């Protein structure tokens, strides 16, 4: 098996043999069985740029010129209250879930009060510092060229992240997004968010029932899953019959303290790696391109 990118200094793997076997199986099963399921913020988009944190799809909206100063302050207060809960290793998922629903619901209500216009979305994204990870063109192009479905599952704002992908010129026909979408009235003003609400800890088939997306992909039993949080590990839970799954985790932050947990949960952990090099290398090998 030749995937030179796995030798990168950012790569950590707890069970190298097992990872080799999975990658080999993915290659043998062939392109017709493959699908990629990915988180968006801090997974396909960069965590840091120019020595600063890159914005998530929520950040882009929360800090944009269409939000009043009062609105910005309230959104920041919510972040400071709920974010420590989201990442608290000592709280159970059962404890976190209702609090995440509370956070997202309050944040969405605040955004609705801002009377955001659909026509402003493209400009908001253009003015932001959003960046996809280095190597994104190759990643999106290769999946598209080989007709491999890319399913993006995001607790962010769907309208914003779609616009980021669109402005990067990689919103191909094989890309499918499930996220929190805005609902605009006939005047193009935000009136609410469409359901179901997707937050960090319900990215699984409970929110996918009825989308029909996974049913139509039931023959796609080989999966590469990309995420950057513990909540992303359940993203493939709606897939009817998974034969092979390779879980790749981006460990962007608090690397030392979270390393053990990530290595327990993800097959491959990428530490402070702002690129898609490793993912692209694996895809190149699986799709048998020299």
CA torsion through residues 211, 212, 214, 220, sign: negative
Report the pLDDT value the prediction gives residue 31, as an integer from 0 to 100: 96
In sequence order, the 6+-apart residues with CB closer than 8 A to the CB of 72 are 62, 63
**Cβ 103 vs Cβ 78: under 8 Å:** yes
For residue 82, the tally of other CB atoms under 10 A from its CB is 17
Give 203-243 as a DSSP string. Answer: -SHHHHTTT-HHHHTTT--EEEEEESSGGGGGTTTT-S--S
Give 140-174 as a DSSP string. Answer: HHHHHHTT--EEEEEEEEHHHHHHHHHHTT---TT
Name residues of the chain where pLDDT drops below 50.
Answer: none
Rounded Cα distance between 192 and 40, Å, is: 22
Report the pLDDT value the prediction gives residue 35, as an integer from 0 to 100: 96
**Cβ 240 vs Cβ 234: under 8 Å:** no
CA torsion through residues 260, 234, 183, 110, sign: negative
Residues classed as catalytic = 39, 41
Rounded Cα distance between 260 and 255, Å, is: 9
- pTM for the model: 0.95
Could you report the per-residue pLDDT of 214-262, keeping only the tens digit for each?
A: 777 888 999 999 999 999 999 998 888 899 999 999 999 889 999 999 9
């Amino acid at each position: 098996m030749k995937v030179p990118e796995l030798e990168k200094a950012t790569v950590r793997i707890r069970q190298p043999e097992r990872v080799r076997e999975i990658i080999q199986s993915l290659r043998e099963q062939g392109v017709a069985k493959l699908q990629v399921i990915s988180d968006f913020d801090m997974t396909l988009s960069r965590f840091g740029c120019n020595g600063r944190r890159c914005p998530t799809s929520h950040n882009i909206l929360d800090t944009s010129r269409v939000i009043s100063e009062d609105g910005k302050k309230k959104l920041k207060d919510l972040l400071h209250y709920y974010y420590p809960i989201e990442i608290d290793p000592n709280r159970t998922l059962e404890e976190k879930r209702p609090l995440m629903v509370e956070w997202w619901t309050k944040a969405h209500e605040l955004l609705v009060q801002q009377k955001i216009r659909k026509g402003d979305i493209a400009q908001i994204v253009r003015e932001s510092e959003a960046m996809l990870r280095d190597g994104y063109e190759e990643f999106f192009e290769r999946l598209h060229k080989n007709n491999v479905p890319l399913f993006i599952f995001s607790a962010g704002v769907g309208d914003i992240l779609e616009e980021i992908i669109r402005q990067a010129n990689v919103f191909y026909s094989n890309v499918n997004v499930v996220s929190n979408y805005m609902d605009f009235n006939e005047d193009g003003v935000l009136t609410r968010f469409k359901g179901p609400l997707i937050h960090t800890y319900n990215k699984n088939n409970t929110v996918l029932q009825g989308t029909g997306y996974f049913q139509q992909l039931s023959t796609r039993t080989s999966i590469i899953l990309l995420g950057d949080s513990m909540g992303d590990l359940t993203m493939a839970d709606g897939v009817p019959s998974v034969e092979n799954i390779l879980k790749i985790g981006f460990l962007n932050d608090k690397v030392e303290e979270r390393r053990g947990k990530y290595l327990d949960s993800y097959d491959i952990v990428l530490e402070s790696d702002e690129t898609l090099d490793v993912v692209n290398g694996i895809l190149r090998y699986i799709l048998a391109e020299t």
